[in-house]
């Protein structure tokens, strides 16, 4: 596990976590999500180091080495076993049983669940009380790792601080497009569709791209139910499964940026910063509920549900 290299690729996330630790603002539960190989597991261990390292998470001292090598008494890890395709409820039960015992070491107890999105809904729900009520009056920190957030139950999402790990190529591609004269918003939107510069430029010229971009920007201007209904009536005739897929990809990225508003350098849709800032004023619990709802609707697109029906549900329940 090459933690130092992976942390350097997601340095902005690490710096935010480090600053929050210094300011005593770390959460009791985190949900790290994003594609494979973007540093989620490595960041989970780096976060654990922040709690015990005397040098602000140096990743090199003896304490940090013990944590990174899985030898620290107060840091536990469970992941998908090689012989399985998912995290079992038994693994979670074993973890809870282990935490019911008194630790020989002072300090918070940290558990990392790598692959929470593979666990069944019942297995995930069994963690809820564990998240909220520390055993033996010992502070407990949960770090959940997921690839597909749509497979994480909403009750877990609502109780965690969400941190999205963007594909390392997204920011690089966006910067390349900007350096080639592409508008900043177009560069960021295109980078969420493909990691190929030439293909990205071709997409910018398509009717589907332009119509969906307009759809998203107009959607973000909606402030009440009356405007939402009018918007739906005006746009419903143009809705297709293809542009709805694109619409939801961008809307999900927008919500992801809302949850990391304090980390401006880490935002993907920086060109929409004013709108992100406006949405960020909403109560955090409500934002998480909205995000879980959006993810659920997006997953329905994979089951050939009518694009118009999905959009109607979005409009009627979100505003």
Per-residue pLDDT of the chain (319 residues; tens, 9 = 90+): 678 877 877 888 999 899 988 888 889 999 999 988 788 999 999 999 999 999 888 999 999 999 999 999 999 999 998 778 889 889 998 988 888 888 878 888 999 999 999 998 888 988 887 787 766 677 889 999 999 898 999 999 999 999 999 876 788 889 889 988 999 999 999 999 987 788 899 999 999 999 999 999 999 999 999 999 999 999 888 888 889 999 999 999 999 999 988 878 789 999 999 999 999 999 999 999 999 999 989 988 877 778 889 999 999 888 8
The candidate with the shortest Cα–Cα distance to 165, out of 57, 282, 46, 294, is 46
CA distance 259 to 290: 12
Measured between alpha carbons, how far is 199 from 311 in angstroms, rounded to an integer? 28
Instruction: State residue 173's pLDDT score.
Output: 85
Residues 203/190, Cβ–Cβ less than 8 Å:
yes
Distance in angstroms (rounded) separating the CA atoms of residues 119 and 80 = 9
| 3 state SS of 78 | strand
First and final CA of the chain: distance in angstroms? 45
Give the number of other Cβ atoms within 10 Å of residue 138's Cβ. Answer: 14
How many whole angstroms separate alpha carbon 115 and alpha carbon 80? 6
CA distances to 5, 15, 109, 263 from 19, rounded to whole Å, are 20, 6, 20, 11
């Amino acid at each position: 596990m090459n933690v130092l290299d992976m942390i350097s690729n997601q340095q902005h996330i690490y710096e935010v976590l480090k600053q929050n630790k210094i300011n005593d603002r770390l959460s009791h539960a985190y949900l790290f999500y994003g594609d494979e190989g973007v540093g989620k597991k490595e960041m989970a261990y780096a976060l654990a180091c922040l709690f015990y390292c005397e040098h602000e998470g140096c990743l090199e001292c003896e304490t940090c080495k013990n944590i990174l090598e899985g030898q620290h008494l107060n840091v536990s890890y469970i992941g998908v076993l090689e012989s399985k395709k998912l995290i079992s409820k038994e693994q979670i039960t074993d973890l809870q049983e282990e935490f019911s015992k008194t630790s020989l070491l002072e300090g918070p107890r940290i558990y990392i669940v790598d692959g929470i999105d593979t666990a069944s809904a019942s297995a995930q729900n069994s963690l809820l009380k564990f998240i909220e009520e520390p055993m033996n009056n010992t502070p407990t920190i949960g770090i959940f790792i997921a690839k597909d957030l749509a497979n994480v139950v909403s009750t877990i999402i609502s109780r965690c601080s969400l941190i999205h790990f963007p594909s390392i190529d997204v920011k690089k591609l966006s910067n390349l497009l900007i350096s080639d004269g592409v508008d900043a918003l177009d560069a960021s939107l295109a980078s969420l569709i493909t990691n190929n510069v030439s293909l990205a430029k071709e997409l910018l010229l398509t009717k589907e791209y332009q119509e969906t971009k307009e759809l998203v920007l107009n959607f973000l201007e909606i402030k009440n139910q009356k405007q939402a209904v009018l918007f739906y009536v005006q746009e419903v005739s143009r809705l297709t499964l293809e542009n709805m897929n694109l619409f939801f990809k961008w809307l999900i990225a927008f919500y992801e940026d809302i949850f990391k508003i304090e980390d401006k350098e880490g935002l993907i849709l920086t060109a929409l910063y004013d709108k992100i800032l406006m949405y960020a004023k909403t109560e955090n619990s409500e934002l998480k509920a909205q995000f879980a709802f959006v993810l659920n609707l997006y997953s329905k697109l994979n089951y050939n549900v009518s694009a118009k029906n999905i959009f109607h549900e979005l409009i009627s329940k979100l505003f």
